[in-house]
């Protein structure tokens, strides 16, 4: 069934009106070109929009949304499309509004440590713009070379360094939000305190259901004086995860603790030859940053704790090149996995840090049960796991198994006191699982909150909150293979 049945044949006068607003190069209507937008990083489900609009300014976004509002047409915002939960999938939303032409850094204010950007600016470009002055933008998703600030705000994205520095919501001070009816609202601002309810806090993580963010005021921070980056090698993931808890309990707050298991280590080593110990059962990349004065002492403590917890070796990156090599290995791990199987699905569960050994054991059991290889590369310091389930989409049975295995892992996370998602969001992928975590009362309150911004659900409809009755349809729009 087509999910955009209501839109088949978008009114030509609407298309003309939108083209007049966004310019003829700001619009894509040919179905072959629209195919590019049929999914994001969550490739299991696909459906194309009927029309893509790429506005350049807040005013254009407002005019576009007003035109859609008058005709009762729903839309989906899209940044770079790196989302891993199908958030930018145009389910029941004929028009996709992409921020790719809204990519200007509007101002840099070093005295106030603020940067003001259009929402289509790529995450890494913010840091690049202030690097010379020794500042950086702290949230650093592994997709930071591509993903946009608007997408980061919608997903409340994190990254390796959020262990110490926090996630997106801790670094956004203000936004311009265009509501579904086209009204432009300013929330927050350059000050650190809010006036009235923290609506900005609600927009962050709303997964595009509150309207379109067109501009953001971000906090930047001073680059730390120094770093120490360690690679600790373990015989198995169990020992490595115990080491994580022990480090966290020691009173030292590393800026990142990332784990890779055997399968990932091999894939990365084969792809990039960065010198990871190919035989190891697991490695931890541990980064410490801050004043140079304390770093060697902390690095020695962490080394001692790791060895005490079974590390067979701890290597300190000797220089910036070695450090960059380790981070390159980590950040490209997903890409390296692509060499192991035709397809993979990245899961995103969270457990309390102390339950990491339990969840990794459970993942092994699930892997054996379904006969699918599952690799693990994740933000261990946060308890945020990313099991990567390998499968072959040409085999419908494997697709079914991959989905079932992912679901079982998430259920286990919730049972261990964790969550369904630490950074990728609910999107379409995990709507069905929301009741595992939230009661009907919780979900009603969340719906009410969403309706404060978008009472008619025109902005990214049918997302996040499962709908009673229509759940199945929402959770499985146009799967690429029948399941």
Partner 1 sequence: MSTDEIVQRVSLIVGAGQVGAPTGRAADAVKILSKPGDAAELAEVVRACETDRIALAPLGAARTLSQIRSLPVALGVSLGRLARVVAYEPKDLTITVEAGLSVGELNRALAPARQRLPVDPCDPDATTVGALIAASHAGPLRLSEGTTRDLLIGIRYVGHQGHSVHGGGRVVKNVAGYDLMKVLGGSFGTLGIITEATFKVRPLPEQYAMTRLSFDRAEKLFAAARELHDSLPLAHLEGLSSAAAYACGSPARFLLVAGISGSSSEVASLRDATARAAPGAVFVERGDALHAYARLRDFDASAWALTAQIAVAPAQLSSILAATDAQYLAHMGCGVATLFLPEPPADGRITIDGWRQAARRAGGYLRILHAHRSFRGSVEFFDMPNDGALKLMRRLKAAFDPAGVFNPGCFVGGI
Residues near ligand FAD (CB under 6 A): 40-41, 76-84, 87-88, 99, 119, 141-143, 147-148, 150-152, 154-155, 157-159, 207-208, 212-213, 334, 423-424, 460
Residue in 20, 106, 249, 300 binding partner 1, rule: CB under 8 A: 249
Q: How far apart are CA 71 and CA 340, in angstroms?
A: 47
Nearer to ligand FAD, 213 or 311 (CB): 213
Considering the rule CB under 8 A, would residue 379 count as an interface residue with partner 1? Answer: yes
Q: How far apart are CA 14 and CA 69, in angstroms?
A: 11
Q: Cβ of 433: how many Cβ atoms within 10 Å? A: 21
Considering the rule CB under 8 A, would residue 300 count as an interface residue with partner 1? Answer: no
Interstrand relation of 184-188 and 282-290 (parallel, antiparallel or unpaired) = unpaired
Residue in 6, 57, 100, 354 binding partner 1, rule: CB under 8 A: 354
Is the CB of residue 465 less than 8 Å from the CB of residue 431?
A: yes
Considering the rule CB under 8 A, would residue 253 count as an interface residue with partner 1? Answer: yes
**Signed CA dihedral, 262, 264, 269, 271: sign only:** positive
Instruction: Report in angstroms how near the CB of residue 308 gets to ligand FAD at its nearest.
Output: 29
Residue in 20, 291, 365, 456 binding partner 1, rule: CB under 8 A: 291
In angstroms, what CA-CA distances link 120 with 100, 103, 158, 459?
5, 5, 17, 17
Candidates 35-43, 55-63, 390-398, 422-430; binding stretch for partner 1 (CB under 8 A): 422-430
**From the list ligand FAD, partner 1, none, partner contacted by residue 426 (C-beta under 5 to 8 A by kind):** partner 1
Nearer to partner 1, 36 or 191 (CB): 191
Residue in 193, 318, 469, 482 binding partner 1, rule: CB under 8 A: 193
Candidates 58-66, 202-210, 305-313, 390-398; binding stretch for partner 1 (CB under 8 A): 202-210
Q: Which residues are registered as beta bridge partners of 400? A: none
Nearer to partner 1, 380 or 390 (CB): 380
DSSP category for residue 37? G
Residue from 446, 441, 440 nearest 426 by CA: 446
Query: Phi first, then psi: what are they for 295, rounded to 5°?
Result: -70, -45
Considering the rule CB under 8 A, would residue 418 count as an interface residue with partner 1? Answer: yes
Nearer to ligand FAD, 256 or 305 (CB): 256
Residue in 33, 270, 279, 297 binding partner 1, rule: CB under 8 A: 297
Interstrand relation of 282-290 and 256-261 (parallel, antiparallel or unpaired) = antiparallel
Q: How far apart are CA 23 and CA 5, in angstroms?
A: 27
Helix axes 237-249, 356-370, angle to 10 degrees: 160
Interstrand relation of 95-98 and 75-78 (parallel, antiparallel or unpaired) = parallel
**From the list partner 1, ligand FAD, none, partner contacted by residue 166 (C-beta under 5 to 8 A by kind):** partner 1
Instruction: Report in angstroms how near the CB of residue 291 gets to ligand FAD at its nearest.
Output: 27
**From the list ligand FAD, partner 1, none, partner contacted by residue 451 (C-beta under 5 to 8 A by kind):** partner 1
Count of residues that bind partner 1 according to CB under 8 A? 91
Q: How far apart are CA 185 and CA 197, in angstroms?
A: 14
Considering the rule CB under 8 A, would residue 90 count as an interface residue with partner 1? Answer: no
> In sequence order, which residues have a C-beta less than 8 Å from that of residue 369 and are 6 or more positions away?
405, 408
Is the CB of residue 219 less than 8 Å from the CB of residue 173?
A: yes
CA angle, residues 76, 150, 114, in degrees to nearest 5: 160
Instruction: Report in angstroms how near the CB of residue 414 gets to partner 1 at its nearest.
Output: 9
Nearer to partner 1, 49 or 86 (CB): 86
Considering the rule CB under 8 A, would residue 426 count as an interface residue with partner 1? Answer: yes
């Amino acid at each position: 069934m087509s999910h955009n049945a209501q839109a088949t044949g978008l009114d030509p006068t609407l298309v003309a009106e939108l083209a007049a607003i966004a310019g003829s190069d700001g619009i894509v209507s040919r179905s072959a070109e629209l195919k590019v937008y049929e999914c994001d990083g969550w490739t299991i489900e696909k459906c194309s929009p009927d029309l893509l609009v790429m506005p350049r300014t807040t005013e254009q976004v407002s005019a576009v949304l007003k035109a859609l509002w008058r005709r009762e047409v729903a839309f989906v915002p899209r940044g770079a499309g790196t989302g891993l939960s199908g958030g930018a999938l145009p389910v029941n939303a004929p028009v996709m509004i992409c921020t790719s032409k809204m990519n200007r850094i509007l101002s840099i204010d070093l005295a106030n440590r603020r940067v003001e950007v259009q929402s289509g600016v790529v995450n890494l470009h913010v840091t690049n713009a202030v690097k010379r002055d020794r500042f950086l933008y702290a949230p650093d998703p592994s997709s930071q070379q591509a993903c946009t600030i608007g997408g980061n705000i919608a997903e409340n994205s994190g990254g390796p360094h959020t262990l110490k520095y926090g996630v997106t919501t801790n670094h956004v001070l203000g936004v311009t939000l265009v509501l579904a009816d086209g009204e432009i609202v300013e929330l927050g601002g350059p000050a650190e305190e809010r006036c009235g309810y923290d609506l900005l806090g609600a927009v962050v993580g709303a997964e595009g259901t509150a309207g379109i963010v067109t501009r953001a005021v971000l906090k930047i921070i001073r680059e730390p004086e120094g770093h120490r980056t360690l690679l600790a090698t373990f015989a198995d993931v169990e020992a490595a995860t115990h080491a994580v808890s022990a480090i966290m309990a020691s009173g030292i707050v590393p800026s990142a603790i990332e784990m890779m298991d055997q399968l990932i280590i091999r894939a990365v080593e084969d792809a990039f030859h960065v010198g990871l110990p190919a035989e190891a059962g697991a490695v931890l990349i541990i980064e410490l940053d801050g004043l140079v004065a304390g770093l060697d002492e902390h690095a020695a403590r962490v080394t001692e704790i790791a060895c005490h917890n079974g590390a067979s070796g701890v290597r300190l990156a000797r220089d910036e090149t070695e450090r960059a090599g380790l981070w390159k290995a980590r950040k490209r791990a997903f890409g390296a996995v692509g060499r192991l199987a035709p397809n993979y699905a990245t899961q995103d569960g969270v457990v309390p840090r102390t339950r990491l050994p339990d969840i990794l054991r459970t993942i092994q059991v699930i892997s054996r049960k379904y006969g699918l290889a599952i690799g693990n590369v994740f933000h261990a310091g946060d308890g945020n796991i990313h099991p990567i389930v390998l499968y072959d989409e040409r085999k419908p049975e494997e697709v079914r198994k991959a989905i079932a295995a992912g679901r079982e892992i998430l259920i286990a996370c919730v049972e261990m006191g964790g969550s369904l998602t630490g950074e990728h969001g609910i999107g379409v992928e995990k709507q069905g699982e929301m009741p595992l975590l939230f009661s009907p009362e919780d979900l009603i309150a969340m719906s009410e909150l969403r309706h404060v911004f978008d009472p008619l659900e025109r902005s990214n409809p049918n997302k996040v909150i499962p709908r009673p009755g229509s759940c199945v349809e929402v959770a499985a729009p146009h799967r690429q293979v029948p399941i």
